[in-house]
Amino acid sequence: MTVQTVSGFAVETDLAYDLERHMWVSRQDSGVVRIGMDPLGLETSGTLAQLSFRPDGGVTRGEPFGSLEAEKFVGPLVSPLSGRILAVNESAMADPGLVERDPYGQGWFIEIAPARLAEELAMLTHGAEAIVEQFGRKIRQYRIEGVLAE
Amino acid sequence: MTIDVADGFAIRRERFQNTMEFYAPGLKRWETSEWKPTNPRRFLPVSVTGGACALQCDHCQAKVLKGMISVKAEENLYELARRLKAGGTDGILVSGGSTRSGGVPLLVHLDHIARIREELEMKVVVHSGVVSPLIAEGLAKVGVDGVMLDIIGADETIHDVYHLDLTTADFERSLAVLAERGLRIIPHVVLGMHYGEFLGEHNALEMIARHPVSTLIIVVLVPLTGTPMAHIPPPPVDECIDFFSEARAAMPDTKINLGCGRPMGAAKTELDWGAIDHGLNGIAYPAEGAIAYAESRGLTAALYEYCCSLTWVGDDGGGYQTVNISSVADVAEVAR
User: pLDDT tens digits for B53-84?
Assistant: 999 999 988 888 877 888 888 889 999 999 99
- What φ, ψ does residue B224 adopt, rounded to 5°? -100, 135
**What CATH number is given to the structural domain containing B122?**
3.20.20.70
Contact B51 A150 (CB under 8 A): no
What is the extent of the structural domain holding B24? Answer: 5-31+38-335
Give the model confidence (pLDDT) of B196-251 as tens digits: 999 999 999 999 999 999 999 999 998 887 889 988 999 999 999 999 999 999 99
Cβ contact A38:A17 at 8 Å: yes
pLDDT confidence band for B89 (50 / 70 / 90): very high
DSSP 3-state of A67: strand
Which DSSP letter does residue B305 get? Answer: S
Domains defined for chain A, CATH in brackets: 3-143 (2.40.50.100)
Give the model confidence (pLDDT) of B245-270 as tens digits: 999 999 999 999 999 999 888 899 99
pLDDT confidence band for B317 (50 / 70 / 90): very low
Cβ contact B194:B205 at 8 Å: no
Set of chain A residues whose Cβ sits within 8 Å of the Cβ of B66: 149
Measured distance CA(B241)–CA(A74) in Å, rounded: 23
Please count the residues of chain A: 150
Which residues pair with residue A59 across a beta bridge? A83
Question: Total domain count for chain B?
Answer: 1
**Which of B23, B30, B36 to substitute to test the interface with A, most A CBs within 10 Å?**
B30
Set of chain B residues whose Cβ sits within 8 Å of the Cβ of A75: 29-32
Which of A50, A73, A150 minimises the CB distance to B29?
A: A73
Which of B51, B72, B285 minimises the CB distance to A74?
A: B285
- What φ, ψ does residue B190 adopt, rounded to 5°? -95, 115
- At residue B147, the pLDDT reads 97
Contact A47 B225 (CB under 8 A): yes
Set of chain A residues whose Cβ sits within 8 Å of the Cβ of B263: 49
Contact A46 B69 (CB under 8 A): no
State how far residue A102 is from chain B, nearest Cα, in angstroms.
17
Measured distance CA(B169)–CA(B316) in Å, rounded: 41
Q: How much of chain B exceeds pLDDT 90, in percent?
A: 72
Q: Is pLDDT at B333 greater than 60 in this prediction?
A: no
Q: What is the ipTM of this complex?
A: 0.72
Per DSSP, helices labelled H in B127-265 are 133-142, 155-160, 168-180, 201-209, 237-250
Return left, alpha or beta for A114; rule: phi > 0 is left, psi -120 to 50 is alpha, else beta: beta
Per DSSP, helices labelled H in chain A are 39-45, 90-94, 97-101, 117-121, 128-145
Give the model confidence (pLDDT) of A28-72 as tens digits: 988 899 999 999 999 989 888 889 898 778 999 999 999 998 888
Q: Is pLDDT at B322 greater than 60 in this prediction?
A: no
Cβ contact A128:A134 at 8 Å: no
State how far residue B283 is from chain A, nearest Cα, in angstroms.
15
pTM for this model (two decimals)? 0.84
State how far residue B193 is from chain A, nearest Cα, in angstroms.
18
Q: Which residues of A touch B (CB under 8 A)?
A: 44-47, 49-50, 69-76, 144-147, 149-150
Cβ contact B3:B284 at 8 Å: no
With CA atoms as reference, report the closest residue to A76 among B317, B99, B288, B18. B288
Q: Is pLDDT at B306 greater than 90 in this prediction?
A: no
Set of chain A residues whose Cβ sits within 8 Å of the Cβ of B51: 149
Size of interface A-B (CB pairs under 8 A): 51
**Which of A47, A63, A78, A148 to substitute to test the interface with B, most B CBs within 10 Å?**
A47
Give the model confidence (pLDDT) of B136-185 as tens digits: 999 999 999 999 999 999 999 999 999 999 999 999 999 999 999 999 99
Measured distance CA(B287)–CA(A90) in Å, rounded: 23
State how beta strands B19-23 and B300-304 pair: parallel
Measured distance CA(A36)–CA(A137) in Å, rounded: 21
Q: What is the chain B residue with the closest CA to A43?
A: B67
Q: What is the chain B residue with the closest CA to A74?
A: B30
DSSP 3-state of B235: coil
Contact A73 B84 (CB under 8 A): no
- At residue A149, the pLDDT reads 65
Set of chain B residues whose Cβ sits within 8 Å of the Cβ of A69: 264-265, 268
Rounded to the nearest 10 degrees, the angle between the axes of helix B201-209 and helix B168-180 is 20
Contact B28 A150 (CB under 8 A): no
